[in-house]
């Protein structure tokens, strides 16, 4: 197997979590990259839905935003945003919500609102968009982001989207219909919620990554599953598909791909 970056490993590992034929509500950025890689490799019949209304989008390049014309032009159909949320999402028709995050905590709660005090923040982030509804109503949620002390924090400055709340059965007690986050995929590892506590623990380390690296990059006392696996390396086909997608995107938008 040839060389690959940690970002490529993260994207490939995340893409593998999408099953063929599943209906996926996709966030822009890393989730969109992973979801479209799945569509271009093992899951050609995955149905990608974006917040702006495209259903069955098949973009040849990664969209700049949910308003990118590429999404509507390649979709099976386009419906009003209200229908996306009320009929598809809240109607229980979304198998997987695929989200990014600025920060995440040990129970899969997400912050995309502010860093620091809400009224006088150090950083004002892009905000919620449709993520709170996706996190609440999708049958399952996947989260993808790069891992560091700044992104994996013990206490969020603001909870934008609820994962497993305070853990245990807290999400159920809130009355949220979806199962919540089932996987956090980073450039170092894969985490999954522990049965009972719903605290995220490391279940798979990417090749060459040590437990010490994960501990160092996590803002809480991260725990490891009893039987930690090693993530399968990207295949040549996965890397070719990903790099071709990034090259097309760079040509179209003048962006860099794998190191975003």
Q: What DSSP element (H or E) covers 111?
A: strand 110-111
Which positions are annotated as active-site residues?
51
Q: What DSSP element (H or E) covers 38?
A: helix 30-40
Q: 112 φ, ψ to 5°?
A: -135, 25
Q: 120 φ, ψ to 5°?
A: -135, 70
Residue 29 φ/ψ region, left for φ over 0, alpha for ψ in the -120 to 50 degree band, beta for the rest: left
- Determine whether 95 is exposed, middle or buried from the number of CB atoms within 10 Å of its CB (0-12, 13-18, 19+): middle
Pairing of β 121-124 and β 140-144: unpaired
How far apart (Å, rounded) are the C-alpha atoms in residues 168 and 190?
20
- Spatial contact of 207 and 115, defined as CB atoms under 8 Å apart: no
**Residue among 102, 198, 221, 107 nearest 157 (CA):** 102
DSSP string, 43-89: -TT-EEE-TTSEES---SS--SSTT-HHHHHHSSEE--HHHIIIIII
3-state SS, residue 22: coil
């Amino acid at each position: 197997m040839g060389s690959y970056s940690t970002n490529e490993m993260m994207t490939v590992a995340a893409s593998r979590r999408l099953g063929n034929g599943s209906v996926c509500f996709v966030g822009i950025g890393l989730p969109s990259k992973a979801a479209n890689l799945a569509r271009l490799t093992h899951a050609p019949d995955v149905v990608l839905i974006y917040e702006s209304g495209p259903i069955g989008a098949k973009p040849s390049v990664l969209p700049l935003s949910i308003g990118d014309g590429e999404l509507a032009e390649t979709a099976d159909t386009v419906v009003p945003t209200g229908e996306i949320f009320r009929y598809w999402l809240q109607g229980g028709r979304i198998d997987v919500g695929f989200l990014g995050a600025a920060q995440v905590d040990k129970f899969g709660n997400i912050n995309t609102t502010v860093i620091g005090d809400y009224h006088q923040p150090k950083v004002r982030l892009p905000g919620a968009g449709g993520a709170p509804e996706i996190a609440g109503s999708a049958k399952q949620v996947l989260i993808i982001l790069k891992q560091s002390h700044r992104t994996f924090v013990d206490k969020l400055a603001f909870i934008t989207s609820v994962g497993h709340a305070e853990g245990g059965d807290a999400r159920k007690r809130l009355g949220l219909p979806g199962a919540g986050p089932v996987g956090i995929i980073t450039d170092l590892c894969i985490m999954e919620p522990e049965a009972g506590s719903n605290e995220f623990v490391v279940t798979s380390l990417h090749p060459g990554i040590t437990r010490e690296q994960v501990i160092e990059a996590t803002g809480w006392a991260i725990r490891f599953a009893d039987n930690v696996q090693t993530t399968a390396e990207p295949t040549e086909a996965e890397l070719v598909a990903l790099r071709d997608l990034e090259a097309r995107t760079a040509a179209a938008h003048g962006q860099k791909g794998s190191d975003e």
